[in-house]
Structures are given as C-alpha cells and as structure tokens.
C-alpha cells in the first residue's frame, strides 16, 4: 500500500513536471514566433527540413545537396507532425514546441531517478526554466549579439544534436549509478551512432567531453577501470560507426572541408567572437544573458569541484562534461577560423544541467508553489493564441510572389537568401531555381533532382547581390513587378541561360 502511494506521488510529480515544461515551451515558442518569425519560418537555412519533408511527401526524386548535417531526425519529426495538416508555419510552430519538450526529456534523464533526498523533477524544471529564460533574454533574432538558445526551436540548427548530447550525458549518469551495463552501453552506442550519422558535430559537443570526464574520474579513482574502458570504447566506437554510416550519403554532402577548417582565419574568428560578446553586452537583456550564462558555467565549475571532494561521482561527471564541452566548442570555433556562432550552443544547454543534478536546497512554501504553478499555467495558456496568431500571420509580400509565379506557369530564379521562402511556399518548388549572382545554379540545401525549366524571370530583394546578366541582357529589358520587399524582373519570352552548377 505504501509502495502504491509512493508510486502515485512520483507519477503526479512527473506529470506536474511535464506540465510545467509544456507551459514553458509554449511561452518560449510564442516569444520566438512573435519576435523572430523570420528565423523560425523563412530563414534560408531554416526551411530546408520543410523542403525535404514536403518533397518526400510528394514522392519526388531525391538528390539533395547538403551540408555535413543530414537532418535525419529533424526531417522525421517534421514529416510526422506535417501529417496533422497544420500547414507549413503551423507545423514549424508545433515542431518547436515538441523539440523543446524533448529537450526537457533529455534534462530529466540527466537529473536521474527518484531517490531519498533528491528532487529530480524540481531540478529538471528549474534547469529547463533556465534554458527558456536564456531564449527570452536573447530577444529578436535581428538584434546584434548571441542567439544560441533560440536556435533549438528551429528545425535546422542542430536540435537533434542538442537532444542527443543530453541523452548521452543522462545515460552516462545511469551507467555510473550502476544501471545494467549491457543495456545502457547499447543505448549510448545507438544515440552516439545516430547523432554522428546525422551531424558529426556531436563528436565535439559530446564524445570528446564524455571521454574527458571519464579520464578525470579514472585519474581520481572514481570509476572502475573496466567501466571507464567500456565507456570510452562505446562512445568513440559508436562515433566511428556513425561516421562510416555516412558513406551512402557522400554524394549528397557537397561541402568541402575547406569551407569549415580555415586555421589561417583564427585571428578573425577570435575577433568576431569578441565583437559578438560586445554586441550582446550592448543591450540590457544581453547583459543579463551573459551574466546568466557565466553564472551557470561558474556554478558548474565550483559545484563540480565540491562534488569531487565529496566523492560525488555523478555530479562530478555531469559538471565535467558541462564545463569541458563549451570550452572545447569555443576552441574548435577559433582554430577552425569560423564565424558561425551556432557551434557554441553547448554554452546554453549544458551548464544548465547543474540545476538538474544539484538544485538549490530551497523549499518553496506550499502557497508560493501553488502561485508559481498557477502563473505557469496561465502563461502557457496565454501563449497558445500568441503562437497561433504568429503562425497564422500572413506574409503579403511572399503571397504576392507565389501568386504571380504560379499564375505565370513559368520558371524563374533567385539567390539563396531571397528564393528559399518562396520555394517553400510554392506548390511546385521547381518553378524557382536557386542561383548565384552569375546565374549559375547554386546547389546548396536544394534538391538537384528538380526539373529546371527555362528561366524567364528573376526575383530579388535587399539580400540579393546585383546579378551579372549575359551580354546583351539588362535588367532594363524586364518588366518590374513590385511585391513589397520582393521585386520580380520579368523578361517575358526571353530565356536567361544558366551556367554550370556550383555549390
């Protein structure tokens, strides 16, 4: 009887935790959809998963030109949610909510099981609330500074890698707690292999930090040598297998190593990071964001060292991974000479784990807890119409373009940042060819199997680099159709020859 009551209380606690997480996820997505709708719905990179899923649903031939990221879990999730018939923006909005809930699930796995003196649900909700707070503090995507946490709401910017990393850390914790070695190691291997298959960045974010944490525990004799060896072989071997499984996709991965590894640009990368930090510190919410990220990182470091002295292997391991991963990611960004801030996401989703594994020893009075729960419920409910309104908000300029293109029955072209959203909105995306400014097809995050008809019009906007047209052809030869931020240059029956494809 007592056991039944205990299970019921734990079940109620878990349900309350998931309810709080749902409310927080809705609040976060409503904020992003309202203030950063371009990032969520129309950014050139953000729409690739929707384009892939829609193409698969139509049964079209598939020959995608992709970056090293294959978007396999993201496409599966979006494709499943698209069956609900919510439309593109509705599906992207729901996808963002579901993704954040899966992030909470990863945090909950790291927090561990119910046990005397532990508060895993409260710690998980607190950590997830910290993550949502970082999303809210980042502000609109168009503002200068870091926007790392909000990227998790998109289908493109490594949400699957974030979740995979959290899952591995959580399973690593279970392994240290004495869970079934065979089963847990098998689960870790599957997660690492699939994560590496879809995005090798998981090696930097997860595999190397976990190996480092095992090394620290082994040096301090906090882990059995056999378990340490099994863990290292598991994560490194699974990463190798995942990388080998990428072989069938070799023809689809068009990015050359030189696009990502430019050590000669390390100084520029460091200067860029300094500039972004300065831009973030230039606004009040950015100052709070930097303070929160720094405080969480320092808390990980301090509590990890305290746990080491107390021989608390679990907290030591989680904090070690949470400290090493951001440092390693930053070092890789600088050494690789890249200005892609998105690779720094470990700074926002790993240090928060300290709140999950070592939550503050503060108990809220029952009245305060009830008030907080009520406020969360109200916030979650209020966020729903805000998110729905943002998803349903029409884009007159985009509608103007798609309406004109579909009525023309012809094929046009546009540059990457200009043409991606119109391609997604068209019933037949092949009506718009993605090109560079010299009219060479630009094979990047696009289906090369699309039939490319004769191009007779161009679409441009503020992001368009002036086109270099063939000799004897000028933009003055075209009729101009204004569609708000877009301009259509219609050359009528004149066909614009395309060059050789490039990526």
Q: How far apart are CA 305 and CA 310, in angstroms?
A: 9
Q: How far apart are CA 198 and CA 114, in angstroms?
A: 33
What's the pTM value of the predicted model, to 2 decimals? 0.94
Parse the chain into domains and list their residue ranges.
Answer: 13-379, 396-490
pLDDT digits (tens, 9 = 90+) for 104-149: 999 999 998 877 767 889 899 999 999 999 999 998 877 889 999 9
* pLDDT of the residue at 368: 75
Other CB atoms closer than 10 Å to residue 180's CB: what's the count? 11
pLDDT digits (tens, 9 = 90+) for 260-314: 788 888 999 999 999 999 999 999 999 999 999 999 999 999 999 999 999 999 9
Residue 482 pLDDT class (50, 70, 90 cuts): very high
Q: How far apart are CA 487 and CA 474, in angstroms?
A: 15
* pLDDT of the residue at 376: 86
pLDDT digits (tens, 9 = 90+) for 199-252: 999 999 999 999 999 999 999 999 999 999 999 999 999 999 999 999 999 999
What are the structure tokens assigned to 440, written together? 């060479």
In percent, the amount of the chain with pLDDT more than 70 equals 97
Can you tell me which residue has the tokens 């030591």? 316
How far is C-alpha 148 from the chain's CA centre? 9
User: Is the pLDDT confidence value at 375 over 90?
Assistant: no
Which among 199, 214, 207, 211 is positioned nearest to 238, based on CA atoms? 207
Q: How far apart are CA 155 and CA 129, in angstroms?
A: 21
Q: How far apart are CA 424 and CA 404, in angstroms?
A: 15
Instruction: Give the SS3 label for residue 253.
Output: strand
User: Is the pLDDT confidence value at 2 over 60?
Assistant: no
What are the structure tokens assigned to 482, written together? 């204004």
When pLDDT is averaged across residues 249-256 and rounded to a whole number, the result is 88
Can you tell me which residue has the tokens 């931020």? 485
Q: In what order do the strands lie in the sheet with 432-434?
A: 432-434, 411-414, 455-460, 486-490, 479-483
User: Is the pLDDT confidence value at 41 over 90?
Assistant: yes
């Amino acid at each position: 009887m007592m056991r039944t009551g205990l299970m019921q209380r734990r079940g109620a606690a878990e349900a309350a935790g998931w309810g709080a997480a749902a409310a927080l996820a809705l609040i976060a997505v409503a904020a992003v959809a309202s203030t950063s709708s371009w990032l969520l719905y129309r950014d050139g990179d953000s729409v690739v998963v929707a384009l892939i899923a829609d193409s698969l649903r139509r049964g079209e031939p598939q020959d995608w030109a992709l970056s090293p990221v294959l978007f396999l879990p993201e496409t599966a999730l979006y494709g499943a949610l698209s069956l609900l018939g919510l439309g593109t923006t509705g599906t992207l909005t729901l996808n963002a909510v579901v993704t954040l809930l899966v992030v909470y699930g990863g945090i909950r796995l790291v927090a561990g099981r119910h046990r005397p003196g532990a508060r895993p649900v409260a710690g998980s909700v607190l950590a997830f609330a910290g993550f949502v707070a970082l999303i809210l503090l980042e502000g609109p995507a168009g503002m200068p500074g870091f926007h790392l946490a909000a990227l998790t709401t998109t289908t493109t910017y490594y949400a699957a890698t974030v979740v995979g990393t959290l899952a591995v850390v959580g399973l690593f914790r279970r392994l240290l707690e004495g869970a079934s070695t065979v089963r847990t190691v098998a689960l870790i291997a599957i997660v690492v292999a699939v994560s590496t298959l879809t995005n090798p960045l998981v090696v930097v974010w997860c595999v190397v930090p976990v190996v480092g944490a095992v090394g620290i525990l082994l040096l301090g004799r906090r882990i059995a040598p056999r378990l340490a060896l099994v863990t290292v072989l598991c994560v490194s071997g699974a990463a190798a297998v995942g990388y080998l499984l990428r072989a069938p996709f070799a023809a689809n991965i068009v990015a050359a190593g030189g696009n990502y590894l430019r050590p000669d640009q390390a100084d520029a990368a460091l200067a860029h990071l300094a500039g972004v930090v300065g831009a973030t510190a230039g606004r009040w919410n950015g100052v709070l964001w930097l303070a929160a990220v720094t405080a969480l990182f320092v808390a990980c470091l301090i509590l990890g060292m305290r746990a080491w002295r107390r021989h608390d292997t679990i907290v030591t391991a989680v904090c070690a991974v949470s400290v090493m991963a951001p440092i390693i990611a930053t070092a890789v960004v600088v050494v690789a000479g890249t200005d892609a801030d998105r690779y720094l996401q470990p700074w926002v989703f790993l240090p928060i784990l300290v709140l999950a594994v070592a939550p503050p020893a503060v108990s809220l009075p029952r009245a305060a807890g009830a008030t907080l729960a009520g406020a969360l419920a109200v916030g979650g409910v209020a966020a729903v119409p805000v998110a729905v309104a943002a998803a349903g908000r029409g884009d007159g300029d985009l509608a103007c373009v798609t309406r004109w293109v579909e009525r023309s029955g012809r094929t046009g072209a546009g540059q990457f940042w200009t043409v991606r959203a119109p391609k997604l909105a068209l019933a037949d995306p092949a009506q718009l060819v993605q090109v560079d400014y010299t009219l060479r097809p630009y094979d990047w995050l696009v289906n090369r199997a699309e039939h490319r008809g004769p191009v007779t019009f161009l679409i441009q906007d503020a992001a368009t680099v002036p086109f270099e047209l063939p000799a004897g052809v000028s933009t003055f030869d075209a009729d101009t159709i204004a569609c708000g931020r877009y301009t259509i240059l219609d050359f009528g029956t004149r066909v614009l020859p395309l060059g050789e494809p490039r990526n």
